[in-house]
Structure 1
Amino acid sequence: MDKEMITIIPIGSIDKRLLTTLASSLEEIFRLPVSVDPSMQLPYNAYNPKRQQYHATTILNKVKGETSSDKGRRLGIVDVDLYVPELNFVFGEADLLGKTAVISLSRLRQEFYGLPRDEDLFLKRTLKEAVHELGHTFGLRHCQNEKCVMHFSNSLRDTDIKQVTFCPICQKKLP
């Protein structure tokens, strides 16, 4: 059996330095090897012109369907605004019964809201959302503890409040 690992899959054009930094941080947090695959094309059928957003589940399914590795978790990263029908937007989505997740960088940037660029804050937010969605692939659900990385983020304020780590209860549930 192959060793458990995490594979980051950039979808579209994603900054290489961000991918390297994220891979290193995820290795530290999950204590698993992390690799970065070559970039995958954004699925055209994911775009909803009425909403001017991309359907997260369509992208998630593409990542699931086009990656042959069954040896670990897969994290797709896009730089477009994502949605699911029930919500105005999502920072990411995960397959709770599988090993695949996707996050969007779009709304994690200060510039999205007309604010000055803050690279450190952007990196922290990206890491939190990556850890959160990967946490779902390990079977974790949303946590009531607002400081836990598994707490649901309804806004960036929620993301900024929570830590990048799991609370003791969620940590115990990890393999």
Structure 2
Amino acid sequence: MGIHLFWDSRVPVGLSRPVSEELSAVLEMPVSRIDDGIFPLEGFDPVRNQYDAVKILLKLDMFRRRMPQIFKPADMDLDFYNKFNHLHEKILLVTPGDLFEPLADFVFGLAYPKLGVGIVSPHRLQNEFYGKYADDSALIDRLVKESAHEIGHLFGLDHCDNPGCIMYCPRNLDELDRKRKYFCGNCRVRLNGDTPEDELFS
């Protein structure tokens, strides 16, 4: 089983290594990094000036099936991989686009556990979006938290009521900043149990 961070090169690639290393430490699992490509975005809404995260995730799953050599373990049968990839290989796309999903004005990220794919965007995680000075340390911290949150969903975790837990669902950047980079005890137990779900989670 693997966790793959697909880092779109339109997002500053220099951040991919610290994010993947911190993410691996938070998850207590290895995280591989793919950061030399551009993933074409789907679902642009010209009225909202945003991208539909659900459509991007569907395309990411299609890409994974068409390019199994990128993600499939060498010793895994291709038919088995295409049927059960969501259980074995989790893929998180880091993309520059501003994201939304049909029930929300925006999302920092979104996960589709049934397909084993997730997405996060730094667009609303960077200080510049709010008219503040750039801060790479803050951006890395937020990307790690949001990435761990979406990967938690890929492993079957729901939202948590503990405001300090990675799986707490922040309504704004301040709530995201108040979260800590850890899973509460209950969520850590469930994460280690690997119980997949079928819903979309943001």
TM-score after normalising by structure 1:
0.91
- Shift, 1:12, TM fit: 5.2
**Contact preservation (8 Å) 1:97, 1:139:** no
Equivalent position of 1:164 in the other structure: 181
Instruction: Report the residue type matching 1:17 in the other structure.
Output: G
Q: Kindly provide the CA deviation profile for residues 94-153 of structure 1, in whole angstroms up to 9, marking residues without a partner as x.
A: 013232110011000010011111111111111000000000001000001111110111
Instruction: Report the residue type matching 1:83 in the other structure.
Output: F
SS across alignment from 2:51: strand
Counterpart CA distance in 1 for 2:40 and 2:9 is 6
The structure that has the greater radius of gyration is: 2
Give the counterpart of 1:82 among 69, 83, 99: 99
Instruction: Report the residue type matching 1:52 in the other structure.
Output: N
Equivalent position of 2:37 in the other structure: 39
The structure, 1 or 2, with the larger RCO (C-alpha pairs under 8 Å, 6+ apart) is 2
Equivalent position of 1:28 in the other structure: 25
Matched, 1:152 2:169: yes
- Percent of aligned positions that are identical: 31
Question: Which stretches of structure 1, 4 residues or more, deviate above 2 A after TM superposition?
Answer: 29-33, 40-43, 68-71
Equivalent position of 2:11 in the other structure: 14
SS across alignment from 1:174: helix
CA RMSD of aligned residues (A): 1.4
Counterpart CA distance in 1 for 2:160 and 2:53 is 22
**Contact preservation (8 Å) 1:82, 1:90:** yes
- Shift, 1:72, TM fit: 1.7
Instruction: Report the residue type matching 1:110 in the other structure.
Output: N
Matched, 1:59 2:76: no
Matched, 1:127 2:144: yes
**Contact preservation (8 Å) 1:12, 1:42:** no
TM-score after normalising by structure 2:
0.80
Equivalent position of 2:46 in the other structure: 49
**Contact preservation (8 Å) 2:98, 2:123:** yes
SS across alignment from 2:149: helix
Instruction: Report the residue type matching 1:108 in the other structure.
Output: L
Counterpart CA distance in 2 for 1:111 and 1:10 is 20
Equivalent position of 1:94 in the other structure: 111
